[in-house]
Chains A and B, each alone.
Chain A
Amino acid sequence: MEIGRYSMAPLDEIDVAEGLRINSLMADSQQPIPDPDSWLDEEIRRNVLITTVDYVVDWARSRSIFPLMFGLACCAFEMIGTAASRFDIARFGMDIFRWSPRQADLMIVAGTLTWKMAPAVKLVYDQMAEPKWVIAMGQCSISGGPFKESYSVVPGINRIIPVDVYVPGCPPRPEGLIHGIRQIHQKIVKESINKE
């Protein structure tokens, strides 16, 4: 639980401050943030030798990711289904969904993001320690989904935070999410080449 400041102020002040934060975030997020794609850079890959230690570290890191539970709407139920016994995400080393962003390195945003929730997403993303990755699960977090024209929906979470893997579907099947997680594993192993 986050403990707010010792506050005896009338609660309306908090509402007004939150509203100002949301309006300013809305004004700042008119362009999507470009996806991190430095791992695609061919030049660097040809010119840098990696050591076995780097490779082993990244292999180990990719096999023991701690995901952060950020289920917002319907896709959260397919995410819980992936973690349940039938599709079993524990065989990839990810069985404990952490609740605190300080202990997690993969944020799976599942569900529709609204402007009212956007400052919270940004705060949680900023609290995660490097290295961190983001999966956008479901149509609503990729582009706004069926609610794109609405007055209060963010058209895609890449307006607020950079996204590594997009998993389409409404909601995506658990197999689809597991495919997305396998892509993240491959991305983590490749990224070590270009991180220096």
Chain B
Amino acid sequence: MAIRTEPFVLNMGPQHPSTHGVFRMRVTLDGEVVVDVEPVVGYLHRGIEKLGETRTYTQIIPLTDRLDYVASMTNNFAYVLAVEKLAGIEIPERAEYIRIIMAETMRISSHLMAIGFFLNDLGAMMTPVLYMWREREKLLDLYEMVCGQRLTYNYMRIGGVSQDVPEEFMPALKKWVAEMPRFIDEYDQLLSQNEVLLARTKGVCILPRDTAINIAASGPVLRASGVKWDLRKADPYSIYDRFDFDIPVGTVGDNYDRYWVRMQEARQSVRILEQAIAQLPEGEVRANVPHLLRPPVGEAYGHIEAPKGELGFYLVSDRSIAPYRFHIRPPTLINLTALKDMVVGWKVADLIITFGSIDVCLGEIDR
């Protein structure tokens, strides 16, 4: 006797424990096996691109903070690089080193958050998150020393950074960097050989190499699929060519590889930080840029390797104080195109953890 079954559509709505923000998926299920996934986004669309057309170049910097709010300074960094490319501005050495220090500490913090929430989806309710948060709180104290804010910094300016770091900052940063390898080893020891993690993520939801290139994935999602492409080595911006670091590349492209790549990247960031702190020169931190900047007519596309992928800003200028067109290339929206490829044929529980392994941030997808 055959039981009559039919697929049904399940709505994992905008308010849901595992959606990492206001994200909605319409999942067509046949029993527990996923047949189709349709992501629905736009629940946090704030119109930042339109607002940017009526603000001066410096007034857009706080708006860019709110894009990827887990690692805010990297958004500032990418925007400021794009404007400097458009206007042809040179910045002092000390400012370059400070920007790299900020970017790499943000990368460590963002990757630890990503791993923590990934494990939250697997079922380890909040314990890894609280462990990772311990390091993040020490880092937030450092940022507060520098610019007074814990989450949305508005620290970078066109032509450098807004102010120099105080004297207490460097000893505190050196102490934090000296302790980090021990903490990353602790997390690695607790997590990487865990049987539940291995059983649920090894060989699950594989993203093949050719598909990853065709959908223009970037960041850890691309590197976990075996493509050695990192903008810090392929198209070095700022002064990344002076540092010595490796790029971890995965082999298979499953969930475990995405988690492993992030863990190794955090270690490499610690290496870069040690070198940057040793080489930090004295000097000014801000170039002499007019208050109301009027770049020459033209366009520029500036991109950096943000923790979540390739974050790019496309600016068109018509010689007025506000950009004519301000476009943000969101890494996680484009990585999300792969969700359907990865998940069809697996179960609902695998859908949730695969979505967690892509590490989305809704502020950036919806802008």
Contact = CB atoms under 8 A, between A and B. Distances in A.
- On whether A and B touch (CB less than 8 Å), the answer reads yes
Interface of A: 1-4, 6-8, 11, 14, 69-74, 76-78, 80-81, 84-86, 99, 111-112, 114, 116-117, 120, 124, 146-147, 149-153, 170-171, 173
Pick the most buried of B45, B46, B362: most chain A CB atoms within 10 A of its CB. B46
Contact of A124 (B15, B38, B42, B45): B15
Interface string B99-121: 00000000000000000000000
Contacts of B63: 146
B51 A150 contact: yes
A72 B45 contact: no
Contacts of A152: 45-47
B262 to A, nearest CB: 18
Interface stretch (B6-14, B77-85, B186-194, B251-259): B6-14
A2 B46 contact: no
B46 A4 contact: no
B21 A76 contact: yes
B304 interface: no
B159 interface: no
A112 B46 contact: yes
B22 A117 contact: yes
Contact of A73 (B38, B50, B133, B363): B363
B12 A74 contact: no
Given A114-B46, A152-B46, A70 B11 contact: no
Given A117-B14, A149-B51, A73 B44 contact: yes
Pick the most buried of A81, A146, A173: most chain B CB atoms within 10 A of its CB. A146
B44 A117 contact: yes
Contacts of B129: 80, 84
A149 B51 CA distance: 8
B62 interface: yes
Contact of A112 (B12, B44, B70, B133): B44
A150 B10 contact: no
Given A74-B151, A170-B152, A114 B44 contact: yes
B126 to A, nearest CB: 8
Interface of B: 6, 8-17, 21-22, 26, 38, 42-48, 50-51, 62-63, 66, 69-70, 129-130, 133-134, 137, 150-152, 362-363
A150 B50 contact: yes
A158 B64 CA distance: 26
A181 B11 CA distance: 33
Nearest to B26: A11
Contacts of B362: 73
A113 to B, nearest CB: 9
Nearest to A75: B151
A147 B265 CA distance: 34
Question: Which 3 residue pairs spanning A and B have beta carbons closest together?
Answer: A74-B69, A150-B47, A4-B11
B26 A120 contact: no
Contacts of A85: 130, 133-134
A28 B69 CA distance: 32
A153 B151 contact: no
Contacts of B47: 147, 150-153
A70 B129 CA distance: 18
Contact of B133 (A84, A124, A171): A84
B74 to A, nearest CB: 14
Contacts of A77: 69-70, 151
Contact of A72 (B44, B133, B152): B44
29 contacts: A1-B11, A1-B16, A2-B13, A3-B11, A4-B11, A4-B26, A7-B9, A11-B9, A72-B21, A73-B362, A74-B66, A74-B69, A74-B152, A78-B151, A80-B133, A81-B133, A84-B129, A84-B137, A85-B133, A111-B44, A114-B43, A114-B46, A116-B45, A117-B14, A117-B43, A124-B15, A149-B51, A152-B45, A171-B151
A4 B26 CA distance: 9
A8 B29 CA distance: 12
A3 B10 contact: yes
A120 B15 contact: yes
Contacts of B12: 1-2
B27 to A, nearest CB: 9
A80 B69 CA distance: 13
B13 A120 contact: yes
